[in-house]
Amino acid sequence: MKFVKRIVLPFITSISLLSAPAALAKDYKMALGDAAGGTQWELGTKFAELLDEKSKGKLKVNLFPNGQLGNEQDTVNNASLGLLDFSVLAINNVTPFSPTVGLLTMPYVILSPEEAKSLTQGKIGEELVKNTVRDANVRIVGWAYSGFRVLTNSKRPIKSLKDLKGLVIRVPRNEIMMSTYQAWGVNPTPMAWSETFTGLQLGVVDGQDNPYITIDAMKFNEVQKYVTNIRYIFSIEPLIVSESVFQSQKPEVQAMILEAGKEATEHSYKFLLESEEKIKRSLIAKGMEIHTPVNAEKEWIDLAKKKVWPKFYDSIGGKAKLDEALATLGRKAH
């Protein structure tokens, strides 16, 4: 009798470990640089809901908004080391770790939400996903589309580059964005995203740029009055998973993560189209003034293309890569 027990019990236990759905159970952590309510939050919560649904409640994702798990660039480092599962952050904060994604922040390359979608979901997007795995040990599994980054400041209306001179503008630690402001004649101040609200509030910096939805989620209207409707960068915010964490999952879990990421990406696109205009109107109602650059932004566009594009050909994979992106978008090589 004793003998049977000893054999049967381990046998039963090992069968249940292999086959029980409980073996899938896991609680993941997801960092968000922004506050709840913006495009990062929409993508993250949708992804969490889908993963929960697909795994029949076994896979949970807990969201930590507002930079609680570190500033956006730190979250790439932590995910790269396998210390963090997921993060949603602006693509410009991935570029320092995987320079070819800089293609998506080259000024005036993406000119509409449709173009953002077609670049990220086509052949070029697939290549960028592979490159970030190779360079940074993180995998992009979804994209949030956040709208054009508009310029805000607390001092005065800006309609031309002349008006911009003398203002202290915060930028992320991103070479392409810093060079763009330099091309426009100002020396910007690089500052982590998590420090930006306080920097604006204390007057360490006068202005910054981010999409309407982000300005609203971060309550920047409380510390900024003037908006200039520039369209130099369309903000794209990837959902990344640590490649070490991803590779340690069972194939069925990997498939659920990829599917949930894809479906959450579609949701993010719809959310942008449905809510950006509404949010813009609510910012006006809260006291923000919106200005449009004179001459359809021509002086801003000409300087950025002439001075910034050639400087970053090498880091994004060569001039041919930019031409390929433009061709994908139905525009001529430059």
| Residues near ligand MLT, by CB under 6 A | 33-34, 72, 89-90, 92-93, 172, 193, 210, 214
Distances (CA, A) of 127 to 185, 235, 300: 34, 19, 30
Which residue is it, tokens 């100002």? Answer: 186
Residue 173: CB minimum distance to ligand MLT, A: 8
Q: Which is nearer to ligand MLT, 72 or 74 (CB)?
A: 72
| CA gyration radius, the chain | 22
Q: How far apart are CA 286 and CA 289, in angstroms?
A: 9
Residue 208: CB minimum distance to ligand MLT, A: 7
In the sheet with 138-148, reading across from the earlier edge strand, the strands are 59-64, 26-32, 86-88, 234-242, 138-148
Residue 53: CB minimum distance to ligand MLT, A: 27
Q: β-pairing, 86-88 with 234-242?
A: antiparallel
Residue 190: CB minimum distance to ligand MLT, A: 10
Which residue is it, tokens 């009055």? Answer: 225
Q: Which is nearer to ligand MLT, 31 or 164 (CB)?
A: 31
Q: Which is nearer to ligand MLT, 72 or 216 (CB)?
A: 72
Q: Which is nearer to ligand MLT, 163 or 209 (CB)?
A: 209
The per-residue DSSP string of 24-78 comes to G-EEEEEEESSPTTSHHHHHHHHHHHHHHHHTTT-EEEEEE-TTTT--HHHHHHH
Q: Which is nearer to ligand MLT, 92 or 98 (CB)?
A: 92
Nearest 5°: CA angle at 332, between 331 and 334?
125
Residue 236: CB minimum distance to ligand MLT, A: 10
Residue 195: CB minimum distance to ligand MLT, A: 10
Residue number with the smallest Cβ distance to ligand MLT: 90
CA atoms within 13 A on the CB side of 296: 1
Residue 206: CB minimum distance to ligand MLT, A: 15
